[in-house]
Structure 1
Amino acid sequence: MPNSLNPFELIARRWQPSARFVQQAALATVVMAVVIVVTGGAVRLTQSGLGCDTWPKCTSGSLTPTSDMGIHSYIEFGNRILTYVLCAVIGLLIIAARARTPVRTSLTRLGWAQFWIVMGNAVVGGITVLTGLNPYIVSSHFLLSSTLLTVAVATWWRAREGDAEPRDLVAVPVRQLTRLLIAATGALIVIGTVVTGAGPHAGDARKVHRIPLNWQEITQLHVDFVYIVLGLTVALWFTLRAVKAPAAQRRTVLELLVVLLLQGVVGYVQYFTHLPEIVVGIHMLGSCLVWIAVLRVLLAQRERAALPAAVPGPTGDHETVQPEPAASSR
């Protein structure tokens, strides 16, 4: 009985993307994940959160904004349109990873994970509008975007390495210190969403429900965690230096430190200038860059070797060449 080909196999027969193309497609998903966060922030900072007053349509009678709705509707709807662009980029990654020989199953799974996170976050975005910008839903919307960014960075990193089992490049205590740094940075970001939910930029000019906390006191807690993350970063750098870790690993920690210091400067500027919209937007971009930098610190502490390349079999199908057993396992 003849084999039926699925669409991915048909594409693979006509197009073999290079490893570099797959890496660039994965990097594009990281860029788009950042763009969707920054543009989502622009919606809130321009008070356009309810520019389209329903979902999935812009109004009850129109899918798109109408001429009498004003600029806020176009800003909010533009952010919705970017979701489709993001899905297209993720789709390109999935197709490229699936078409390449040998198939990068790990990349296609990560690509599909991104797609379903986007779909879930689109629903949360709709709930955000339908609930009149409930601050708790808005916070979960941002945190899901951060989850997307996490998976996108992991996908990009996997596209640059092999598919063999990971091998740790540092000792267990170093990994534990790094995980503590990841946890502290995650807490820093979560507290930042609470500051946003209690702060003055509600997302719409009309009265919007806010988290009933003193946003200045929460901001102080946010600053405290900044110092904790800075301290852990410095401690990790000295630890890596003491154990003579490879220069590439120490460099990722230094890059994180630079990003943290720049983000701290932006944070102080926005606080002492009473939260101007443009500076708050830059701070949101900085939060994405901090998270990317801290994930790179973790991912640089292990490596995956490339699996043996596939070669054409006697029937034209691809067969994987099995490696010889290692000497230690004989």
Structure 2
Amino acid sequence: MSVQTSRAARFRALELAPTTFAALALATAAALYVIVVTGSVVRLTSSGLGCESWPGCEAGAFFPASDSHAFIEFGNRVVGLVPILLTLATWLAARRLRSLPRWSARVALATFLGTLAQAPLGLLTIHFDLHPLLVMSHFLLALVVLAGGIVVALEAWRLVRGGVEPLVPAELRRAGLVLAGACLALVVSGTFTTAAGPHSGGADIRRLGSLDGALWVHVRTTALFGCVFLFVLGYLAARRDRSPRLFALSLALVGVLLVQMAVGEVQWRAELPWGLVVVHVALAAAVWAAVVAFVALLWRPLAVLAPGGRVDG
């Protein structure tokens, strides 16, 4: 009996404080966002084949030579180690945090496994000379694990700040799920547009389909997302006295969307310079992250979002 008690005490000693776990989960979500942006830099600078070997850059040489494309690709690989380590740490910590719902630990595990899977997927992408579908899969998997990281981070902060029952009716929460699906469809159509345009990954990388066709789909997917979002926004506006802070969050999301639209228009008129496209991708990832967080808060709001909730926690 004393042995079991000793083991239980050691196990509890490994448990992080909720505030420490929340900070770790937030750092993980931030790292998962950063790797999306750095990965887009690799593609948009045509550096995807800068390193032709893996995990080293060249056969017989682990580090890159003087070529700028090699440095960009290898640098992205080094940066990619950070989210792998952080997602692993978050999952291990989630397992030991008894106050955290078990489903959150499973999401943390899936996030770690998805992040780890990026390494062999990247190797396959290089092996098949940046096939557009593999490059797109690489990017979309990054967005999926980013969503997982955000959900875990919000659940972690729920432990710190407290949570309340949903502030909006079930039909609006279900509309939020449709909004997240529409946002994902919007991002997917954007990746097809990139694959069909001048930034497919390199001068020798074949395009995927036609740019006009991809733009046709992307514009209509944007309209679909806009309609769903306007419905959610209108619903919250009509009932903003019941959930004023959720409504304020939706207005902040409108601001990010307007900036994204402006950058998209400018980059198109400027004939898609890669620097502006990087900003566009970074904003797209930010929109995706914000939508995931917004929908998660519709279902499991923090106490601070309730009318009269304390902002200072």
TM-score norm. by structure 1 comes to: 0.82
What is the CA–CA distance in structure 2 between the aligned matches of 1:9 and 1:125, rounded to whole Å? 42
Do the aligned partners of residues 82 and 232 (structure 1) sit closer, same or farther apart at CA in structure 2, a change above 3 Å counting? same
Say whether 1:119 aligns with 2:116.
yes
Give the CA deviation at 1:167. Answer: 4.4
More helix by share: 2
Deviates more, 1:239-248 or 1:261-270: 239-248
Cα distance change on mapping 1:53 and 1:247 into 2, 3 Å: same
How far apart are residue 216 of structure 1 and its match?
3.1
Which of 215, 219, 224 matches 1:219?
Answer: 215
- Answer yes or no: is the 8 Å Cα contact 1:48–1:72 preserved in 2: yes
Residue 86 of structure 1 pairs with residue 83 of structure 2: yes
1:229, distance to aligned residue in structure 2 (A): 1.9
Larger radius of gyration: 1
Q: How many residues align?
A: 300
Query: Which of 160, 184, 188 in structure 1 is aligned with 2:182?
Result: 184
Partner of 2:196: 198
Matched, 1:46 2:45: yes
1:157 to 154, 159, 162: 154
Query: How far did residue 128 of structure 1 move?
Result: 0.7
The aligned counterpart of 1:70 is 67
What SS does structure 1 have at the residue aligned with 2:39? helix
Q: Provide structure 2 residue ranges, at least 5 long, that are not aligned to the other structure.
A: 304-313
Aligned partners of 1:139 and 1:16: how far apart in 2? 38
Report SS of the residue matched to 1:161. Answer: helix
The alpha carbon displacement at 1:284 in A equals: 0.7
What do residues 83-102 of structure 1 show as CA deviations (whole Å, max 9, x unaligned)? Answer: 21112222332344345565
Kindly provide the amino acid, as one letter, of the partner of residue 194 in structure 1.
Answer: F
Are 2:251 and 1:257 aligned? no
Deviation of the 1:304 alpha carbon:
7.1
Contact (CA 8 Å) 2:48, 2:73: kept in 1 or not?
yes
Give the CA deviation at 1:22. Answer: 1.2
Distance 1:100 1:136 in 2: 39
% identity of equivalent residues: 31
Alignment of 1:1-330 (within 5 A): 2-3=3-4, 10=10, 12-13=12-13, 17-65=16-64, 67=65, 70-100=67-97, 102=99, 105-162=102-159, 167-205=165-203, 207-211=204-208, 213-244=209-240, 245-303=242-300
Structure 1 gaps of 5+ residues are 307-330
Deviation at 1:35, TM superposition (A): 0.7
**In the alignment, is the contact (CA less than 8 A) between 2:125 and 2:134 conserved in 1?**
yes
**Kept after mapping to 2: 8 A contact 1:49/1:129:** yes
Amino acid at match of 1:183: G
Distance in 2 separating the partners of 1:249 and 1:21: 26
What is the CA distance between 1:121 and its match in structure 2?
Answer: 1.7
Write the deviation string for residues 274-322 of structure 1: whole angstroms up to 9, x where unpaired: 001110000110111111111122112123799xxxxxxxxxxxxxxxx
How large is the RMSD of aligned CA atoms in angstroms?
Answer: 2.8
Contact 2:177 2:295 in 1 (8 A): yes
User: Do the aligned partners of 2:18 and 2:159 also contact (CA within 8 Å) in 1?
Assistant: no
Q: Alignment partner of 1:234: what SS?
A: helix
TM-fit CA distance, 1:214: 1.8
Q: Normalization by structure 2: what TM-score? A: 0.86
1:166 and 1:302 in contact (8 A); partners too? no
Letter in 2 for 1:32: A
Structure 1 residues 21, 210: closer, same or farther in 2, change over 3 A? same
Q: Which amino acid in 2 is paired with 1:33?
A: L
Partner Cα separation in structure 1 for residue 279 and residue 163 of structure 2: 38
Q: In the TM superposition, what whole-angstrom CA distance separates every residue of 1:184-212 from its partner, at most 9, and x where no partner exists?
A: 1111011011011111112234x11221x
